C-alpha cells in the first residue's frame, strides 16, 4: 500500500511513500522494546544529551524541514520555519527540566520513609495529525523520551515526508537505536498496534470522532491514553476590551495555518456596545491578508490541506449563511489549481448555526453578539467542546470569569497558544489528559509508591 500525497497548492501528486507490512511493524515493536530495556536505565543527563543532539541537527536543517511542511500540507513558509524552531525549543525545554518535573515526592505515612517515584512505562504510540507535523511530534516525543520511554510515531498519511524526516533526525544525531521510530501506516492499520501488549500507552491528536475510537481501543487493551481533540474555541470580547489589540490577536489566532488549528479562535463572542466597531476592525485586518503560494515569503494564507477538507468547510459556510448569518468577506472556494479558501467573515451568527455547532478548520471568522458578559459566558459554554478560550477586557473582570469557562485553557488579553512550559488539553469532547509542562510528562509514567520500613506507628 502507498501513501499518496497531493500538493495542496497545485492539486498535483507530490510523492508516494510505501506503508509498512506486518513483518516490518513487528520489527519496529521489537526494536522499541529493546531500546526501552536500555533507555529506562539511562540517566537524565544522558537523555538530555541525546535530545539536545536531535535539536542541534534540526537547527542545521531548518529550511529543508520547513519546506517539507509547506509542500505537503500548505503551511506558509514563514510559519513553517517558526514551527521547526518551536519544536527545537520543546526538545531543549524537556532536556533541561525533565529531571525536576519527575523528581520523587516524599509523602508522610506510617513508614520510616515513603515517597512516589516516577518511572517509565515502555514503548508509547503517538498518533499524530497533519496540521503541525513537527511541533506535534515533538510535543509527544520530547517528554516521553526524557521520562525514559521509547516512541513509535504513526503520523498522518498526508505528511509522510515530514514523518520520515523526523525519524531521520534521531538517526543523524547518533542517539541510541529505537528511541523514536516512524510507522508509515494507513489509518486502518493502526488498531493492532494499539492493541499490542508491548505498547504501554497511546497519545492521539485529531478529531473527536477518531479520538473516541482510539480511546475505545486503548481502553479495551487497558492502557493509558492522552487525547487532544477538536474545539469550537470561544473568545469573549467585553465592552471594555482594547479592541485594536483584540482584533490584531484574534485575526492572527483564527487565520494562522489557514485556520487549521484546534486552538484557533473559532467563535468571537462580542458584547453588544462594541459589536459593530469590532466587526469593522476585524474586517480591515482580514482584508490585508495575502492568499497565495505558501513558498512565498509574503503569503499569510496558504491552501487548505486537502480537497475534502476544503469542501467540508465550504459546506459549513454555506449552511451557516442559509441559517441567517451575513457574509462580509469570502464565502466561496477559490477557482483554479489547489485547495484555496479565502479569508471569510461571518457575522450575526448565533450559537445554533453550523459554524458554531461543528469545528470549522479553515480561515473562517465567526462573530456572535452577546447582550452582556454573562450572556457571552453562557454562549461560550454552550458547546460539546472544551479545548481553549480567551477573554478580552479589564483584567480583573476577565480573570474572575476564567474559572467559569468550561475549557482546558484560558488566555486573558493574549493569544491562545501551546507552550512547553505550560500544560494544555481539553475537557468534554475536546480530550482527556494534558500534554506539555510538568503535567504532560507525568501522563506516561508509573507513579510508583515506595514504603520503607520500619513502621513508625503513625
Check if the beta carbon of residue 398 is closer than 8 Å to that of residue 411: no
Check if the beta carbon of residue 238 is closer than 8 Å to that of residue 376: yes
Concerning whether 228 is annotated as a catalytic residue, the answer is yes
Which residues touch 83 (CB under 8 Å, ≥6 apart)?
A: 66, 69, 75, 132, 133, 134, 135
C-alpha cell at 330: 469570502
Closest Cα to residue 266, out of 276, 277, 253, 256?
253
Catalytic residue, from 72, 79, 92, 228: name it: 228
Catalytic residue, from 90, 141, 225, 262: name it: 262
Residue entry with cell 457575522 = 347
Closest Cα to residue 241, out of 272, 268, 274, 266?
274
Catalytic residues, by residue number, are 228, 262
Amino acid at each position: 500500500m502507498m501513501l499518496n500525497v497531493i500538493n495542496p497548492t497545485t492539486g498535483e501528486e507530490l510523492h508516494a511513500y510505501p506503508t509498512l507490512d506486518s513483518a516490518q511493524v513487528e520489527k519496529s515493536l521489537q526494536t522499541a522494546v529493546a531500546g526501552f530495556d536500555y533507555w529506562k536505565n539511562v540517566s537524565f543527563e544522558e537523555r538530555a544529551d541525546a535530545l539536545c543532539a536531535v535539536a542541534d541537527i534540526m537547527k542545521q536543517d531548518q529550511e529543508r524541514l520547513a519546506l517539507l511542511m509547506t509542500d505537503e500540507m500548505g503551511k506558509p513558509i514563514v510559519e513553517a520555519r517558526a514551527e521547526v524552531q518551536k519544536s527545537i525549543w520543546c526538545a531543549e525545554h524537556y532536556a533541561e527540566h525533565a529531571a525536576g518535573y519527575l523528581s520523587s515526592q516524599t509523602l508522610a505515612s506510617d513508614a520510616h520513609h515513603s515517597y512516589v517515584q516516577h518511572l517509565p512505562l515502555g514503548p508509547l504510540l503517538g498518533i499524530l495529525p497533519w496540521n503541525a507535523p513537527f511541533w506535534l511530534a515533538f510535543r509527544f516525543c520530547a517528554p516521553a523520551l526524557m521520562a525514559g520511554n521509547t516512541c513509535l510515531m504513526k503520523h498522518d498519511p498526508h505528511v509522510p515526508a515530514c514523518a520520515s524526516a523526523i525519524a531521520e533526525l534521531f538517526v543523524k544525531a547518533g542517539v541510541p537505536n529505537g528511541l523514536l521510530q516512524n510507522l508509515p501506516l494507513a489509518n486502518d492499520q493502526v488498531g493492532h498496534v494499539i492493541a499490542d501488549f508491548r505498547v504501554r500507552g497511546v497519545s492521539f491528536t485529531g478529531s473527536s470522532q477518531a479520538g473516541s475510537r482510539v480511546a475505545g481501543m486503548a481502553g479495551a487493551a487497558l492502557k493509558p491514553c492522552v487525547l487532544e481533540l477538536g474545539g469550537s474555541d470561544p473568545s469573549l470580547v467585553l465592552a471594555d476590551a482594547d479592541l485594536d489589540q483584540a482584533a490584531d490577536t484574534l485575526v492572527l489566532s483564527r487565520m494562522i495555518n489557514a485556520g487549521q488549528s484546534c486552538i484557533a479562535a473559532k467563535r468571537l463572542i462580542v458584547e453588544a456596545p462594541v459589536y459593530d466597531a469590532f466587526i469593522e476592525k476585524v474586517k480591515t485586518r482580514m482584508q490585508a491578508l495575502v492568499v497565495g503560494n505558501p513558498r512565498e515569503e509574503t503569503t499569510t494564507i496558504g491552501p487548505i490541506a486537502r480537497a475534502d477538507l476544503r469542501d467540508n468547510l465550504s459546506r459549513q459556510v454555506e449552511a451557516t449563511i442559509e441559517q441567517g448569518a451575513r457574509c462580509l468577506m469570502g464565502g466561496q472556494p477559490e477557482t483554479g489549481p489547489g485547495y484555496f479558501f479565502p479569508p471569510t467573515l461571518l457575522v450575526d451568527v448565533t450559537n445554533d448555526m453550523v459554524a458554531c455547532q461543528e469545528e470549522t478548520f479553515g480561515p473562517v471568522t465567526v462573530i456572535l453578539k452577546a447582550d452582556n458578559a454573562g450572556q457571552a459566558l453562557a454562549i461560550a459554554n454552550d458547546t460539546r467542546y472544551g479545548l481553549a478560550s480567551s477573554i478580552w477586557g479589564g483584567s480583573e473582570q476577565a480573570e474572575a470569569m476564567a474559572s467559569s469557562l468550561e475549557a482546558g485553557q484560558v488566555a486573558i488579553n493574549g493569544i491562545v497558544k501551546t507552550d512547553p512550559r505550560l500544560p494544555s488539553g481539553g475537557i468534554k469532547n475536546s480530550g482527556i489528559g494534558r500534554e506539555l509542562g510538568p503535567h504532560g510528562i507525568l501522563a506516561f509514567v508509573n507513579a510508583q509508591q515506595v514504603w520503607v520500613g520500619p513502621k513508625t506507628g503513625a
